[in-house]
Amino acid sequence: MMTPGEVALLDGFERALLNHRLHMVYQPKVSLDDGRLIRVEALVRWDDPKLGSVAPSRFVPLAERHGLIDPLTQWGLRTTLRQWLEWQRQGLDTCIAFNISALSLQHLDFPDLVERMCRGLEVPSDRLVLELTEGATQPLVTLMDTLTRFRIKGIGLAMDDFGTGYSSLMQLRQLPFTEVKIDRFFVSDAPRNNDSRVIVKAMIELAHGLGLSATAEGVETLEQLALLRELSCDVAQGYLISPPLEPSELVAWAPRHRRRWKMLVNPSEEPRLRRHVETNALR
Ligand code: C2E
Ligand code: CA
Ligand code: CA
């Protein structure tokens, strides 16, 4: 049974999807080695005239439960691939990370659909990484064939929110992932909590031991950044580097970030200046 609030939310979401009132924002993921932009993660946004700004954590699960996840995924992916082309035209060369619900993977033809979309828009498929989180109902291990077909097409696969929920070591060993994303729960605690630090270190070593790249999510402070560099983590994403951006903001962010990176990795000892560098990425 749905509550009246859920009915209104679902109704509003369906209309927003049909009437093209959703949009995508993009959050940079940068190399911890030299700060260069590795890719951007596409995140959907819904600003409703009546309901205000609705978080994806509210409407994505609703879309999953009510048969709207496939249209959302296809709209989001097409929008993101078109945006990639636009950035290329503007001289910004990057790759894309796109979130996929485990439900979409149940369609056997899904890898072909993604490949057709890339080919139709002339986006090389090796510029795309799909971020997957295991849902409660469908263990990813049952989707081995589908995931392998993505890899054959050159599409990368990231295990999202690693260390929380249903993600398991078995999946990392058995499935053809290319990247592990360490959940921000561990990252945020790591500089001050020895247990979290040990876990983050082990996750990075585990990823490297399996030949995968390690990304830290939710990097918000200079201490976290310094620790992740010390632990040889590969990629960082989080408000310290940049919040999710509108497409045109990303183009302006890139040169500013190149200058700011030096201050992020060689921060001043002066507390006021450190705070200034930390908060400067936020709008
Ligand atoms: P996620 O894939 O783990 O995405 C990261 C979330 O963390 C995003 O929230 C992002 O805005 C937020 N974030 C980034 N940096 C920081 C930070 O430094 N600190 C904190 N506290 N948060 C940070 P958002 O955009 O609200 O998305 C929430 C979740 O909704 C995503 O988690 C993803 O699972 C799902 N989602 C978002 N867009 C899509 C989409 O287009 N399709 C699907 N299937 N799921 C999506
Ligand atoms: Ca993600
Ligand atoms: Ca995540």
How does pLDDT run across 228-243, given as a tens digit for each residue? Answer: 999 999 999 999 999 9
The rounded Cα 200 to chain-centroid distance in angstroms is 18
Is the distance from the beta carbon of residue 163 to the nearest atom of ligand 1 less than 6 Å?
A: no
Can you give the length of the chain in residues? Answer: 283
pLDDT at 137 over 70: no
Residue type, 52: G
Cα(246) to centroid(ligand 3), Å: 19
- Ligand 2 centroid to 271 CA: how many Å? 32
DSSP for 14-46, written as a single string: HHHHHTT-EEEEEEEEEETTT--EEEEEEEEEE
What's the average model confidence in pLDDT over 143-172? 89
- What is the tens place of the pLDDT at every residue in 111-130? 999 999 999 999 999 999 99
Cα of first residue to Cα of last residue in the chain, in angstroms, is: 40
Q: State the pLDDT confidence band at 214, using cuts at 50, 70 and 90.
A: very high
Domains of the chain (ranges; CATH) run: 21-280 (3.20.20.450)
Give the pLDDT confidence score for residue 138 in this predicted structure. 66
Token code pair at residue 279: 């908060």
Q: Which residues contact 146 (CB under 8 A, 6 or more apart)?
A: 105, 108, 110, 111
Residue nearest to atom 21 of ligand 1 (CA): 218
Q: Mutate which of 99, 131, 264 to test ligand 1's pocket (most atoms within 8 Å of Cβ)? A: 99
Instruction: Give the pLDDT band (50/70/90) at residue 133.
Output: confident
182 lines ligand 1 (CB under 6 A): no
Q: Which of these, 35, 15, 37, 36, lies nearest to 26 by C-alpha position?
A: 37
- β-bridge partners, 179: 158, 213
Is the beta carbon of 101 within 6 A of some atom in ligand 1?
Answer: yes
Nearest residue CA, atom 34 of ligand 1? 99
